[in-house]
Structure 1
Amino acid sequence: MVAGLIWLAGHIVGLILIGVALGCAGIVKWWVAIALMVSQPLHFIAAVVIPSRLLDVTLGWGLTTLASLMVSMAILRTSNDDWDLPPVARAGAR
């Protein structure tokens, strides 16, 4: 049970942090990042607090699916050159 609770907390907090990172990096629009950030807390509320499969599917997993689709589209539109990091200049180099 302890492991399950740790996984649950990590899962919810992790998706919130992924949403923040995607929004701050400008990979997706903020509404997509916010949809991802609120999706798993809504999933928890709809599954545990007020057990409603309809709300869980539409709000919880529906928002996760929509946000994942938008992130996937952003990744597919990114050119290969944009994935590379710029060269790091060494101290003292001219």
Structure 2
Amino acid sequence: MAEKDEWCSRPLDRVYAAVFIDATVVKVRDGQVANRAFYVAVGVDLEGGRDVLGIWASPAAEGARYLLSVLTELKNRGVDDVFFLICDGLKGLP
């Protein structure tokens, strides 16, 4: 578990050429069945290398407020600039 926590909080590159963010909604049983969105962010660095920046489980289905917290976490982990942010119809992003 410590290794997972270390990976989830590791510092990220300052600049990415592109960041891809997508979510998939999954039915989760936690006392009752509910829809939860799982977000994945993949960064492409300036040399073309790809890295999974993080995976997050939202407490509900897709939502702008939770997506903002994901982007804030990326910034807090060191990301200063992204040339292209690519998403597929995520609520909260144009």
Smaller-chain TM-score bracket: under 0.3
Q: Which has the higher contact order (CA 8 A, sep 6+)?
A: 2
Q: TM-score, normalised by structure 1?
A: 0.24
**Higher gyration radius (CA):** 1
Greater helix share, structure number: 1
